[in-house]
Structure 1
């Protein structure tokens, strides 16, 4: 299951995953705000997940500046992954 935006329903979406996801099912949550990242971690820990993988990535785009290419950083994205166990 992939969560790319929860519109405030993060708790319910994770509970849906817990109820209907089979053993070995993977949940991936993309977070663009610190609040969503913190809330996701809080809920996942409350639900008993211990093997929580967290990765932060950032993309940069090249922009022409005279004869040079300058890299401009975009906002980082946090990716959280858990696997449902028994």
Structure 2
């Protein structure tokens, strides 16, 4: 889904290529429920909602500007399967099970969010986290390596787009993004 389809503000947005990889790692095919923690502009939730219209999506965001652009884009796309909730993680996270959880922002509560995710994912549920700061990614990797999550996978995506500059062209880089995915094993 192209980025220019979204109505944009200054709220940062997960870009198309990173969004595509993150959605693929969430494994949303034939899933029932999806939680987006720190949804930002909501681009991950909205693309998931449009690709999987039967999917029940809960998006949690605390930033008033992000809430406003979420609401604008939900109306813009005519989406009816996102429950946009105002709140902070982990205290305002819903007490229900999800097939997949995406973390776009942690507000400094990363270990608590990972613990919540393990407790609230269904068996074989997927957790996907995106980071631009190495320190946050390293904290998540260390915590996940010592958790009961399985199939830990860490990649860095560096996207550059063709851009005109005067008479020439160059590849204008976007922020590299670290994408971490892990699976909840079957409960015994």
TM-score scaled by structure 2?
0.43
2:173 alignment counterpart: 73
Task: Return the offset for 1:48.
Answer: 3.0
Q: Is the 8 A contact 2:159 2:176 kept in 1?
A: yes
1:58 aligns with 2:158: yes
CA distance in 2, matches of 1:65, 1:20: 48
More helix by share: 2
Q: Where in structure 2 are there 5+ consecutive unaligned residues?
A: 1-100
Q: Where in structure 1 are there 5+ consecutive unaligned residues?
A: none
The range that moved more, 26-35 or 72-81, is 72-81
More strand by share: 1
Larger relative contact order (CA 8 Å, sep ≥ 6): 1
Provide the secondary structure at the position in 2 that maps to 1:25: strand
CA distance in 2, matches of 1:51, 1:83: 6
CA distance in 1, matches of 2:173, 2:140: 25
Alignment of 1:15-34 (within 5 A): 15-34=115-134
Task: Return the offset for 1:10.
Answer: 0.7
The range that moved more, 54-63 or 13-22, is 54-63
Match of 2:141 among 28, 41, 44: 41
Across the aligned residues of Structure 1 and Structure 2, the Cα RMSD in angstroms comes to 1.3
1:7 aligns with 2:91: no
CA distance in 1, matches of 2:115, 2:156: 24
Deviation per residue, 1:20-58 (Å, 9 max, x gap): 211011000001111111000111011133421111111
Count of residue correspondences: 86
Q: Which runs of 4+ in 1 moved over 4 A?
A: none
Task: Return the offset for 1:72.
Answer: 1.8
The range that moved more, 27-36 or 65-74, is 65-74
TM-score scaled by structure 1?
0.89
